[in-house]
Amino acid sequence: MSDDDDRLARVALTWLAEPGTRSVHALVDQLGPVAALELLLDGGAPEQWLRSAVAARCREGDPRAVAAEALACRERLGVRLVTPDDEAEWPPQLDGLRRMVLRGATRRVDIETAPPLCFWVRGAWPLREALTRAVAVVGARAATAYGVHVATELGYGLADRGWTVVSGGAFGIDAAAHRGALNAGGLTVAVLACGIDRPYPMGNAGLFDRIAETGLLVSEWLPGAEPFRPRFLIRNRVIAAATEGTVLVEASARSGATQTFNRAVALHRRPMVVPGPVTSAMSVGAHELLREQPSARLVTGVPHVLEEVGRIGVDLASPARAPQRPRDTLDDEAALVLEAMPRRGVIDVDRLAARAGVTVRTAMRKLSLLEELSLVHRRDEGYALTTPARAPTPPRAEVMGPLHDDPGRPANGR
């Protein structure tokens, strides 16, 4: 059996049954794609519904001929087929799709799902490399100006630091995230729920061309496949599995984006949510996830996202969530004592304790702490504030300017 036979069988199988069908993937695992296809075409599918589905498809055409025709279009469409046999290019993290456990509010659900059998790919980057350090940014199609702004900044900032921005190519948040990444000269991947030759929606055709020029368009479906609604759900598992974390920017109550998000949770990827105005219907779904999904992490910008998905020493200048200024580590009593210090000159402990409204013992204990942090220093007559030059305050850009770059962190070029 040649490599071409394998590819043809994989394509035929995705035409016979929707991608992600667990029993089909199990057959391919056991028998290889060619024998699995033969078994299905001989009416040997293990389940009645699959036998019916295969029979129905075969009335529409010969699966091998359909697959061969699709493969023959590759050059004309400027696309290639990537399969798990292309080991250098297949993203290993998709193997996580062999089992997903969705946890609802009240019960645990094992969703039977499966990794893709193959991808149609348009664009020059090797797929595996493009998805090596990737974050998904997803959200509402009917995004607000706020959501579009936030998604664009996230796409820009992540791409600017060498992260691939993955999304679904939809209107609204998806498109904004792709555009942000493109504007940064970075890498972005659109995972489609339809044929790669007819990316949906048509209104984003120009965007899809730009993505393919510098990034990748990817689809599990044959060229010409229509974007039926259930396919978005199937596609979302790939967005979640291919990335190290999913950032949800805007979502109305129970939107499709929250499904991608729940898949990210089920796959143990980092689930992140950007909050928004509570007056906006487009943030209701985001706030719902933050309230109901215990593992959802609130993020306000690129530095928070990198805290979740980045590797210490590579993406972060300091351990995640460490206090940035000595002052921030202070408990309330130490803060009171520091507050009570005169701006200039020296104060003795008794007077300081009285000003701070604490006991002398507490004042002395807290003064040791403050001295250790170089915030005060001891003189013969008492204590004095350390001048700012002696206690440098690193920038807190990750908190103060959530959506802007922190110049204190190294950029990570690819």
Alpha-carbon distance 335 to 222, whole Å? 64
Query: Site residues for a copy of itself, window 209-248 (CB under 8 A)?
Result: 229-230, 233-234
What is the DSSP annotation of 129-146? Answer: HHTTTEEEEE--SS--HH
CB of 364 to a copy of itself, least distance (A): 11
391 near a copy of itself, rule: CB under 8 A: no
CB of residue 205 to a copy of itself, shortest distance in Å: 29
Q: Which is nearer to a copy of itself, 300 or 412 (CB)?
A: 300
Nearest to 141 by CA among 173, 181, 177: 173
**Stretch of residues binding a copy of itself (CB under 8 A), selected from 25-33, 75-83, 124-132, 394-402:** 394-402
Radius of gyration of the chain (CA): 27
DSSP result, 52-75: HHHHHHHHH--HHHHHHHHHHTHH
Q: Does 52 bind a copy of itself (CB under 8 A)?
A: yes
Size of the site for a copy of itself (CB under 8 A): 75
Q: What's the count of helices (H) and strands (E) in the chain, helices before strands? A: 18, 14
Q: Which of 35, 102, 317, 397 binds a copy of itself (CB under 8 A)?
A: 102
To the nearest whole angstrom, how small is the minimum distance from the Cβ of residue 293 to a copy of itself?
11
Shortest Å distance, C-beta 298 to a copy of itself: 5
**Is the CB of 85 or the CB of 183 nearer to a copy of itself?**
183
Residue span binding a copy of itself (CB under 8 A) among the ranges 6-14, 45-53, 125-133, 160-168 = 45-53
Closest to a copy of itself by CB, 167 vs 236, is 236
Q: Which of 80, 98, 162, 300 contacts a copy of itself by CB under 8 A? A: 300
Reduced to 3 states (helix: H, G, I; strand: E, B; else coil), residue 246 is strand
- In the complex, the smallest distance separating the C-beta of residue 274 from a copy of itself, rounded to whole angstroms, is 6
Among 201, 384, 399, 412, binds a copy of itself (CB under 8 A): 399
Provide the mask over 64-93, with x wherever binding to a copy of itself is found by CB under 8 A and - wherever it is not.
------------------------------
Amino acid identity, position 323: P
Nearest to 219 by CA among 205, 204, 206, 200: 200
For 404, half-sphere exposure in the C-beta direction (CA atoms, 13 angstrom radius) is 8
Q: Verify binding: residue 268, a copy of itself, rule CB under 8 A.
A: no
Question: Residue 287 interacts with a copy of itself (CB under 8 A)?
Answer: yes
CA distance 310 to 132: 12
The H or E element spanning position 219 is: strand 216-219
Question: Which residue blocks in 254-411 are alpha helix, DSSP H?
Answer: 256-266, 284-292, 302-309, 332-340, 349-356, 360-372, 397-400
User: Is residue 43 within the footprint of a copy of itself (CB under 8 A)?
Assistant: no
User: Which CB sits closer to a copy of itself, 34 or 338?
Assistant: 338
With CB under 8 A as the contact rule, the residue among 75, 106, 407, 411 that binds a copy of itself is 106
β-bridge mates for residue 219, sequence order? 120, 192
Report yes or no: 249 and 138 within 8 Å, Cβ to Cβ.
yes
Residues 122-161 that bind a copy of itself (CB under 8 A): 146, 149-150
Contact 329, 182 (CB under 8 A): no
Binding string, residues 344-373; x marks residues near a copy of itself by CB under 8 A:
------xx-xx--xxxx-xx----------
Contacts of 12 (CB under 8 A, 6+ apart): 37, 63, 64, 66, 67
By CB neighbour count within 10 A (0-12 exposed, 13-18 middle, 19+ buried), where does 2 fall? exposed
**Cβ of residue 50: shortest distance to a copy of itself, in angstroms?**
8
CB of 23 to a copy of itself, least distance (A): 7
Question: Does 18 sit near a copy of itself (CB under 8 A)?
Answer: yes
The answer to whether 161 touches 245, Cβ cutoff 8 Å, is no
31 counts as binding a copy of itself under rule CB under 8 A: no
Enumerate residues 183-212 that contact a copy of itself by CB under 8 A: none
> Which residue, 74 or 149, is less far from a copy of itself as judged by CB?
149
Contact (CB, 8 A) for 207 and 169: yes
Interface with a copy of itself in residues 302-341 (CB under 8 A):
304, 321, 323, 328-329, 331-333, 336, 339-340
